Structure 1
Amino acid sequence: MDDISKPSIESRINKLKNLPALPEASVRILEAVNDPDVEIEKLVKVISLSPALVARLLGLANSAFFGQLNQIDDLHTAIVRVLGLQMVKSLSLGILLNVQLDPKHCKGFDSQSFWMHSLITAVAAQKLANAHAWQSLSSANAYTCGLLLHIGILVAAYAFPEELDGILSHESNSYLHVETEIQRRFGQSHYQMGYILLKKWQLPEFYQSMLSQFTNTEMPENQVELNRCLHASQQICYSILDQEADDTGLDLIAATAGLPLETVGKVFSALLESKDNVQKLAAEMGGW
């Protein structure tokens, strides 16, 4: 923390309390996407309160990632035929966060890279949850948690653009470096920053607790499975995005998470094979 004095750190952390509030329409959309029993018709109606969100979801449905032959021009069709209910709910959550926290003042922030990390982590978590069948963890929740895991970096880009730009200018492609430097310079991790945001916006306690407890070595028993899944997913993501992109270290990831090496290997291989497609989706989301 030698780059910024302690009083300066405290004033910057206090700034997090002044993060923007959500517009009423966004509050209603978040309530809908976090309702496990919401019907497609109701979700379409609520999402339609935000024309920008509708446009972005339609843009995704028609993107190269999904490879649709015919133009998709209404949200109901996009959900039923292309995106799927769970993906729409998760991506709507991510898009709303991205809209409210404009990172444009942080010149070094790469939105495509951010979404690439978030999407790969989310898909890895979903696949691990499906393959391992943890009793207390659904694949849908695992996906959303993976998507939100690095949201604190977006918070930092919005609230502390100059400081984060200084970090990114040194090694912008390494989220391990970014994580370490945010903790060192602010005395607070980006997971804690993300937690402050989710708490302020009153997202479900499940997601708040996921971020607040992520680096805690002594966590509630009911969160151990989620934590193991997310740590493994994060490490798989780093391996996928590494320049070498090989399976070195998968045995350690599996052992740390208490997962079969075969399971981790299959998830790694599937994501490596679909990396280009995920990159197309990240480019769509990062271009907003």
Structure 2
Amino acid sequence: MLPGVLFQLMKLNSDDDEFYDHVYALAKTDPPLASFILGYANSAASSPNNPINSLQAALTRVGSQTIVDLITTLSVSKVFIPSLPEHKAIWRHSIETATIASFISKITHHHDVDPDLAYMCGLLHDIGRFVLFQFAPKALDDTDAIGWAAADELPLVEQKILGTSHSEIGYIACNKLHLPNVVSSVARHHHNYNICNNSKAPKTFRELVLIIQFADFLSVMAIKVPDWKQLKTNELKTYINNHCIMKSWGDHQLPVDMLAEALPMLIDKSDKLAESLGV
């Protein structure tokens, strides 16, 4: 986890009436913490009768104090400080993707995707890159050194460097962390741009993956194209249609107009969260 998150967890007062809310707010900003809570709630130690797919349900089942105690015990010696801009961008991108995905699910009424689930899957979709940051930082740096400008280019570069992709690494990590199947499946398929046309996959899952993919493209654009905020709303809409929409999505019915207007606010909101964590 980020040092700032760990420090804030350790200084929380369990007697505070807002203790739960503080833990929940921190978990919504840090993918490693969110994956730990969700994984523990779904593990044999917790023994849930049904899969737990939301942070709120996970914290309610396990208990905020238990989570903080476990984190303090297990993570004090495993704090990784992102120093390079590329490393910090991993955290920013995860928060941005989660925020955008939740927004899309709220305003796209023809999709039957829960906003909280969209947020969770957006936050954890790149968990494979966090694994690389922890265990193979040079491979992560080599990937960024070659360069990639859009979300669909990243797995192609990773194949050249690693012989695999962060999607597959993330899928393995999700299973080892006992994360819900829907989270691990999104982590595995968020670069599979044909899955929205796969009739064998459940309709809600296809819609969820599409939302995560679109949010992924928008966040990468915000990071890789520094002057995007200088574009007028109509110009931004045109850019999104030209660079953030995959042809394989077909009649996607995504709210491009509303997103072109809301994107500056969504990115600012996400980046303020990231800055509060020292990213």
Q: TM-score, normalised by structure 1?
A: 0.62
Q: 1:236 to 1:281 in 2, by over 3 A?
A: same
CA distance in 2 between counterparts of 1:101 and 1:39 reads: 22
Paired letter, 1:281: L
Match of 1:230 in 2: 212
CA distance in 1 between counterparts of 2:278 and 2:170 reads: 19
Match of 1:280 in 2: 272
Query: Equivalent residues in 2 for 1:1-288 (5 A)?
Result: 28=40, 34=53, 37=57, 40=60, 43-50=63-70, 52=72, 103=80, 108=84, 110-171=86-147, 178-216=154-192, 217-218=194-195, 219=198, 220-222=200-202, 223-241=205-223, 242-245=225-228, 246=231, 247=236, 248-252=238-242, 253=244, 256=249, 258-260=251-253, 263-287=255-279
Gaps of 5+ in 2: 1-35, 47-51
Match of 2:12 in 1: none
CA distance in 1 between counterparts of 2:71 and 2:221 reads: 37
The Cα shift of 1:212 comes to 2.2
CA distance in 2 between counterparts of 1:229 and 1:260 reads: 11
CA distance in 2 between counterparts of 1:185 and 1:44 reads: 40
The Cα shift of 1:208 comes to 1.1
Query: Is this contact kept in 1: 2:139–2:162, CA < 8 A?
Result: no
Q: 1:101 to 1:193 in 2, by over 3 A?
A: farther
What is the number of residues matched between the two proteins? Answer: 219
Query: Is this contact kept in 2: 1:25–1:49, CA < 8 A?
Result: no
CA distance in 1 between counterparts of 2:105 and 2:250 reads: 12
The Cα shift of 1:48 comes to 3.2
The Cα shift of 1:42 comes to 5.9
The Cα shift of 1:117 comes to 0.8
Aligned CA RMSD, in angstroms, stands at 3.7
CA distance in 2 between counterparts of 1:110 and 1:238 reads: 12
Paired letter, 1:43: G
The Cα shift of 1:227 comes to 1.7
CA deviations over 1:95-124 (Å, ceiling 9, x no partner): x9x9897555x8747443112111111111
Q: 1:167 to 1:136 in 2, by over 3 A?
A: same
CA deviations over 1:256-284 (Å, ceiling 9, x no partner): 374446x2232243231343342221123
Query: Is this contact kept in 2: 1:126–1:140, CA < 8 A?
Result: yes
CA distance in 1 between counterparts of 2:180 and 2:53 reads: 7
CA deviations over 1:207-237 (Å, ceiling 9, x no partner): 1111223334354431211121111111221
The Cα shift of 1:38 comes to 5.7
Query: Is this contact kept in 2: 1:228–1:257, CA < 8 A?
Result: no
Identical amino acids, percent of aligned pairs: 21
Gaps of 5+ in 1: 1-23, 54-95
CA distance in 2 between counterparts of 1:207 and 1:40 reads: 19
Query: Is this contact kept in 1: 2:103–2:115, CA < 8 A?
Result: yes
Q: TM-score, normalised by structure 2?
A: 0.63
